[in-house]
Amino acid sequence: MIGSDDSPSPDGAPLLQVRGLTKRFGDLTACDAIDLKIGHGEIHALLGENGAGKSTLVKMLFGALAPDAGSIHWRGRPVSIENPAAARQRGIGMIFQHFSLFEALSVSENIALGLDGAKNRVELNATIRQVSSEYGLPLDPEASIADLSVGERQRVEIVRCLLQDPSLVIMDEPTSVLTPQEADVLFVTLRKLAAKGVSILYITHRLTEVLHLADHATILRRGTIVAKADPGTESAASLARMMIGEAVTASTKASAGENDSHGPERLTVSNGNLPSDNPFGVSLDNIDLHVRGGEILGIAGVAGNGQSELFDLISGERLAEQDDYVLLDGISSGKLGISGRRRLGAAFVPEERIGHGAAADLHLSDNVILTRHALPEKINRHGWISRKAAKLVEMRVGEIFDVRRAHSDPLASSLSGGNLQKFIVGREVDRNPGILVVNQPTWGVDAGAARRIRDALIHLAGKGSAVLVISQDLDEIFEVADKIAVISDGKLSEAVPSHLMTMEVIGLLMGGVHGGSEHAA
């Protein structure tokens, strides 16, 4: 039986229909009279820029927000979805972009919390292993959530939703932490689910996925529906144009005046060994990388292969075993903490926006202070913190990076994921650092925001900075990087000029075939 509420629909009635659905937050109308239909077994893409109203809409469908006006019809009948439990009861499952997991609990304990009724632990673990293997999303049911990478946590969310046996699955950026091969496996599974009558509301910023997967697409802009499209007759460019109201072009080195010559080496990691600090982590094994001024080195890899540990080693979140493992502009820095490395002109953007890149319950200007309080600049004047200077940075970053917010200097938690990402990247780029290390720079952001972030990285390199980009988005890697390396099981391949690298070679390296770069074109 598919879904918890499988009562038949009246003849011709869609599985889900919303009429005039509206949600306001003070003077801001996040969703304005939305009309939407999703048929049985349909894969329906929901597109729009960050802040367009997508998250607000699906939260109303899932019972996490109450609409101010309009109606929701399920199987042809008007319903009120009071909370997520009621949504699940009807057969609506949701996979959020921001995870809702308890870090102190195991994978199976988190999944059990999302299932109705008690289930034998051994039986549940076996089911998790079977389903996760079938979907190409391997999981250890006994692993602690606190020890999992972002990609592995996303797998937990997906498997937990599928074990609820839903009739409608709402998926928010489900492939943002998957390799192309893993995404292909997921697409096969989604098509099988659709063939069985399961409907899927698919939110993504990867427009090529929409073209290959979706039956229909609805495009939101600033809270209203601006277009409904048949992906089979559209292109990625036409969908992007509908989303932002103008043509979206790829970022190019030429836009920053880039050329083939680079400056001296600014970031060096030599013999970088770092033992894992937890049973489920990855130890770094003799990492060797070099980034010159004016150069962007892109590091690709499947989530959970040492990206977080590499970021920690370079940023100073974990100190190296030897001081000369990490050199910043030739200065041994392996034993320096984060503030010490920042004082040497380095800046860092971690992959997790909330809790790591920004404190959710603080204003944006306070988040500026958190990363600049130890630096000798206008914000820190002889030990005194200038909030005025911090607010000026917040305003400048908001304007340059088009950070959309209801008012100046809001709480970080009030921003959409993409807008918060633009702010965090912009906050660090605003410093004009000599070295920038960024982990997953455009995870979960729309095409326009991704272009703005990538252009900023290219422009920074064009001014002589060394930029290290760790990303699971291979299109992004090829778009911005001068050289590409792949991390797998804590080992880093040799960096190869991007024009000599191919998707096939990267796939081999991701799979642990070290030395695959020898086969680069």
Higher pLDDT, 488 or 72: 72
Nearest Cα to Cα of residue 394 among 417, 415, 357, 363? 363
Q: Quick: pLDDT tens for 167-186.
A: 999 998 787 666 666 677 77
pLDDT confidence of residue 280: 60
Q: Does domain 253-353+433-519 have CATH number 3.40.980.10?
A: no
Indicate the pTM of the whole model: 0.66
Q: Percentage of the chain surpassing pLDDT 70?
A: 89
Q: How far apart are CA 241 and CA 229, in angstroms?
A: 12
Dihedral of the alpha carbons of 341, 347, 350, 353, in degrees to the nearest 10: 130
Residues in the chain: 521
- In the predicted model, is pLDDT for residue 148 greater than 90? no
Average pLDDT, the chain: 87
Q: Percentage of the chain surpassing pLDDT 90?
A: 54
Higher pLDDT, 258 or 191: 191
Report the amino acid identity of residue 504.
E
- Quickly state the pLDDT bin for 1 (edges 50, 70, 90): very low
DSSP character string of 207-253 = HHHHHHH-SEEEEEETTEEEEEE-GGG--HHHHHHHHHSS------G
What is the CATH number assigned to the segment(s) 16-91+165-244?
Answer: 3.40.50.300
pLDDT confidence of residue 251: 63
Beta bridge partner(s), residue 16: 38, 74
16-91+165-244 and 253-353+433-519, same CATH topology? yes
Three-state SS letters, 453-470 = HHHHHHHHHHCCCEEEEE
Other CB atoms within a 10 A radius of the CB of residue 245 amount to: 12
- Quickly state the pLDDT bin for 258 (edges 50, 70, 90): very low
Q: How far apart are CA 142 and CA 59, in angstroms?
A: 30
pLDDT confidence of residue 472: 81
Instruction: Report domain extents, the chain.
Output: 16-91+165-244, 253-353+433-519
Proportion of the chain in helix, strand, coil states, percent, rounded to 5: 35, 25, 40
DSSP 8-class letter at 15: S
Burial category of 338 from C-beta neighbours within 10 Å (exposed 0-12, middle 13-18, buried 19 and up): middle
Q: Quick: pLDDT tens for 267-316.
A: 999 999 898 887 667 899 999 999 999 999 999 987 778 899 999 999 99
- In the predicted model, is pLDDT for residue 508 greater than 90? no
